[in-house]
C-alpha cells in the first residue's frame, strides 16, 4: 500500500484522497449458468485490486497502472473510446462510460491502481478492476446507486465497452462478497442468500494450472448462442420459457431428444448444473461431505464432457487433487479453457494437496502450478482518506 502511495505521489505530486479496493472471486459451483438466468455460488477471495485517487475539476482522467507501468489520459467531455494499445485502461474507462450513460456524470480524477488477482486465470481480475473503480466513483461523487445496480453497471461496461459478453456473477460477487461466506445468487432476480462456509471443517484451495486461457471470447460467445438456440427450440414444446433456468431436469429429459446433438449437450449441462447448485447449497448447509464432493466432481465432468470448456491441464489438476485423501471434491472454475480449478479439502490438508500437485502436475503437463488457500473475503469498499 505504501508503495502505491509512493507511486501516486510520483505520478501526481500530491497525496491521494480516496482509496477503493475490490476482490477477485472463485466460483464454488454453478458454471456457465449466470447468462442462462440460473444460479451460482461464488466467494470473493483475498486477492484484490486497489485504487488510490483524487478528484479533478477539469473533467480529465489520468490513470496509471502500477502493474503495467503505463499511463493513459482522456477527458470525460470527449467520446470515450477503447484503446487497444492500453487494454488495461478499457475497464475503468468502460465503467466511466456506463456512469455517463446512466446519466451520472463523474468528476475527473487522477488515479493509480494495482492488483494481485492473477490475470487471465479465471479469478476475475477484470471484474475486480471494474468494481474497484465503480465504488470509487460512487464514493467520490456521492452517487446514490445501490450495490446491485453497481454490479449491473460494471457488467454493462464489460459487455458494451470491453466487448466481452459475460454474465453478472463476477461483478456481483466482487461488489457484494461477504467474509467467511459464499453468495448463493439467483442471476435472474439478483436476489441472494449468504451461505456461511463451514471453515471449521473445510478449506478452499485454488489450483492455478498456469495454462493461459485461450479462445475464451469466441468459445464463450458460441456457448451462449447454443444455449439461446436451445431455448428457442425448447420453447416450441414449453412455451412459457425465457431461459434454460425455466426448464426443469424432468422437462429437459422429456424434450431433449428433439434437440440437435451439440445444443442438447450444452443445454443438459446448464439445466443439471442449476440443480447441482441448489443441491450443493443444501449439502454445504448440512455439512453433507459426500454430496459436496460428488456435486463438485459431477460439475467438472459435465463441463468437460457436455459443455466442453475444460482442457487437459484442468482435468489433470482435478485428477491429482482427487488422489489426495483430504480432498472432498474439485472442479474447474470460471469460464474454462485454462485458468484455475477449485478444491474443497478437509481442514488442514491443504499442505498434502500442495505437495501432490507440485510433484505430479509438472510431470503431467510441463507447467509449474500455483496454489492459493482462500479466505472467503469482503466485497468492494471505498473510503475518503482525509
Ligand atoms: C466468466 C464470466 C461469468 C461466467 C463464467 C462461467 O467468468 O465472466 O459471467 O459466465 O465465466 O460461469
CATH class of the 202-374 domain in this structure: alpha beta
- Whether residue 373 is predicted with pLDDT greater than 60 in this model: the reply is yes
CATH topology of domain 2-197+377-384: Ribosomal Protein S5; domain 2 (3.30.230)
Catalytically annotated residue among 34, 170, 203, 274: 170
- Residue 210 — pLDDT band, cuts 50, 70, 90? very high
Q: Record the cell numbers describing residue 206, joined without a space.
A: 485454488
Cα–Cα distance between 33 and 38 in angstroms, integer?
5
Cα–Cα distance between 260 and 332 in angstroms, integer?
26
| Alpha carbon of 47 to ligand 1 centroid (Å) | 18
Given a contact cutoff of 8 angstroms between Cβ atoms, the answer to whether 87 and 61 are in contact is: no
Given a contact cutoff of 8 angstroms between Cβ atoms, the answer to whether 42 and 185 are in contact is: yes
39 lines ligand 1 (CB under 6 A): no
| Alpha carbon of 237 to ligand 1 centroid (Å) | 29
**CB-based burial label for 181 (10 Å; 0-12, 13-18, 19+):** middle
**Average model confidence (pLDDT) across the chain:** 96
How many whole angstroms from its chain centre is CA 338?
14
Domains of the chain, by residue range, sit at: 2-197+377-384, 202-374
Q: Among 128, 310, 335, 339, name the best residue to mutate to test ligand 1's pocket (greatest count of ligand atoms within 8 A of Cβ).
A: 335
Q: Among 166, 223, 302, name the best residue to mutate to test ligand 1's pocket (greatest count of ligand atoms within 8 A of Cβ).
A: 166
| Alpha carbon of 216 to ligand 1 centroid (Å) | 10
Cα–Cα distance between 201 and 272 in angstroms, integer?
27
26 lines ligand 1 (CB under 6 A): no
Three-state secondary structure string covering 29-62: CCCCCHHHCCEECEEEEEEEEEEEEEEECCCEEE
273 lines ligand 1 (CB under 6 A): no
The pLDDT value recorded for residue 174 is: 98
For 303-326, give one letter per residue: b (16+ CB within 10 A) or e: bbebbbbbbebbbbbbebbbebeb
| Alpha carbon of 9 to ligand 1 centroid (Å) | 36
Nearest CA to ligand 1 atom 9: 167
- Residue 257 — pLDDT band, cuts 50, 70, 90? very high
- Whether residue 222 is predicted with pLDDT greater than 60 in this model: the reply is yes
- Whether residue 119 is predicted with pLDDT greater than 90 in this model: the reply is no
Q: Among 167, 222, 274, name the best residue to mutate to test ligand 1's pocket (greatest count of ligand atoms within 8 A of Cβ).
A: 167
Q: What is the pTM of this model?
A: 0.97
The pLDDT value recorded for residue 84 is: 84
Express each pLDDT in 293-325 by its tens digit.
999 999 999 999 999 999 999 999 999 999 999
The pLDDT value recorded for residue 213 is: 75
Given a contact cutoff of 8 angstroms between Cβ atoms, the answer to whether 30 and 279 are in contact is: no
* Helix ranges, 142-285 (H): 147-156, 169-176, 216-234, 249-255, 261-285
Q: Which atom of ligand 1 is nearest to the CA of 35?
A: 10
Contacts of 135 (CB under 8 A, 6+ apart): 20, 22, 150, 175, 380, 381, 382
Q: How many CA atoms lie within 13 A of 173 on its CB side?
A: 36
| Alpha carbon of 299 to ligand 1 centroid (Å) | 15
- The answer to whether residue 170 is catalytic is yes
Express each pLDDT in 270-294 by its tens digit.
999 999 999 999 999 999 999 999 9
Q: Mean pLDDT check: name the lowest of 210-224, 333-347, 362-376.
A: 210-224
Nearest CA to ligand 1 atom 1: 335
In eight-state DSSP terms, residue 85 is G
The pLDDT value recorded for residue 243 is: 98
The pLDDT value recorded for residue 138 is: 98
- Whether residue 249 is predicted with pLDDT greater than 60 in this model: the reply is yes
Distance (Å) of CA 22 to CA 94, 116, 117, 323: 16, 11, 10, 34
Express each pLDDT in 130-184 by its tens digit.
999 999 999 999 999 999 999 999 999 999 999 999 999 999 999 999 999 999 9
For residues 115-132, give the mean pLDDT. 94
Nearest CA to ligand 1 atom 8: 166
| Alpha carbon of 258 to ligand 1 centroid (Å) | 28
Backbone angles phi, psi at 350, to 5 degrees: -60, -30
| Alpha carbon of 286 to ligand 1 centroid (Å) | 27
Q: Record the cell numbers describing residue 68, joined without a space.
A: 503495467
Q: Among 169, 175, 243, 338, name the best residue to mutate to test ligand 1's pocket (greatest count of ligand atoms within 8 A of Cβ).
A: 169
Q: Record the cell numbers describing residue 15, joined without a space.
A: 497525496
- Whether residue 1 is predicted with pLDDT greater than 60 in this model: the reply is no
184 lines ligand 1 (CB under 6 A): no
The pLDDT value recorded for residue 8 is: 97
Angle 312-322/350-365 helices, nearest 10 degrees? Answer: 140
For residues 206-230, give the mean pLDDT. 90
Nearest CA to ligand 1 atom 11: 335
For residues 19-36, give the mean pLDDT. 98
Express each pLDDT in 32-85 by its tens digit.
999 999 999 999 999 999 999 999 999 999 999 999 999 999 999 999 999 988
- Whether residue 214 is predicted with pLDDT greater than 80 in this model: the reply is no
- Whether residue 359 is predicted with pLDDT greater than 70 in this model: the reply is yes
Q: Is 154 left (phi over 0), alpha (psi -120 to 50) or beta?
A: alpha
Amino acid at each position: 500500500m505504501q508503495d502505491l502511495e509512493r507511486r501516486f505521489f510520483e505520478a501526481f505530486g500530491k497525496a491521494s484522497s480516496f482509496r477503493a479496493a475490490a476482490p477477485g472471486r472463485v466460483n464454488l459451483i454453478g458454471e456457465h449458468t449466470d447468462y442462462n438466468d440460473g444460479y451460482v455460488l461464488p466467494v470473493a477471495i483475498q486477492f484484490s485490486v486497489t485504487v488510490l485517487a483524487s478528484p479533478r475539476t477539469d473533467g480529465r482522467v489520468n490513470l496509471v497502472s502500477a502493474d503495467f507501468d503505463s499511463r493513459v489520459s482522456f477527458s470525460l467531455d470527449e467520446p470515450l473510446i477503447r484503446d487497444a494499445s492500453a487494454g488495461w485502461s478499457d475497464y475503468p474507462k468502460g465503467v466511466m462510460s456506463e456512469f455517463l450513460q446512466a446519466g451520472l456524470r463523474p468528476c475527473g480524477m487522477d488515479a493509480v491502481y494495482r492488483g494481485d488477482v492473477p490475470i487471465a486465470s479465471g479469478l476475475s481480475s477484470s471484474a475486480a478492476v471494474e468494481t474497484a473503480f465503480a465504488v470509487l466513483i460512487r464514493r467520490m461523487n456521492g452517487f446514490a446507486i445501490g450495490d446491485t445496480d453497481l454490479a449491473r453497471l460494471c457488467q454493462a461496461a464489460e459487455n458494451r465497452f470491453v466487448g466481452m459478453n459475460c454474465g453478472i456473477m463476477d461483478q456481483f460477487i466482487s461488489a457484494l462478497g461477504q467474509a467467511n461466506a459464499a453468495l448463493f445468487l439467483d442471476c435472474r432476480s439478483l436476489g441472494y442468500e449468504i451461505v456461511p462456509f463451514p471453515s471449521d471443517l473445510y478449506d478452499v484451495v485454488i489450483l492455478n494450472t498456469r495454462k493461459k486461457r485461450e479462445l475464451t471470447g469466441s468459445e464463450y460467445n458460441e456457448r451462449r448462442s447454443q444455449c439461446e438456440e436451445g431455448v428457442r427450440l425448447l420453447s416450441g414444446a414449453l412455451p412459457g420459457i425465457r431461459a434454460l433456468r425455466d426448464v426443469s431436469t424432468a422437462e429437459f429429459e422429456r424434450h431433449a431428444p428433439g434437440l440437435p446433438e451439440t445444443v442438447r449437450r450444452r443445454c443438459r449441462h446448464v439445466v443439471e448444473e442449476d440443480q447441482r447448485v441448489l443441491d450443493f447449497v443444501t449439502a454445504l448447509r448440512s455439512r453433507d461431505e459426500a454430496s459436496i464432493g460428488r456435486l463438485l466432481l459431477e460439475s467438472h465432468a459435465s463441463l468437460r464432457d457436455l459443455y466442453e470448456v475444460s482442457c487437459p491441464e484442468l482435468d489433470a489438476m482435478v485428477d491429482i487433487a482427487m488422489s489426495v485423501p483430504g480432498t472432498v471434491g474439485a472442479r474447474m472454475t470460471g469460464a474454462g479453457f485454462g485458468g484455475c480449478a477449485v478444491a474443497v479439502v478437509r481442514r488442514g490438508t491443504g499442505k498434502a494437496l500442495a505437495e501432490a500437485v507440485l510433484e505430479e502436475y509438472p510431470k503431467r503437463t510441463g507447467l509449474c502450478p500455483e496454489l492459493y488457500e482462500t479466505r472467503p473475503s469482503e466485497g468492494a469498499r471505498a473510503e475518503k482518506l482525509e
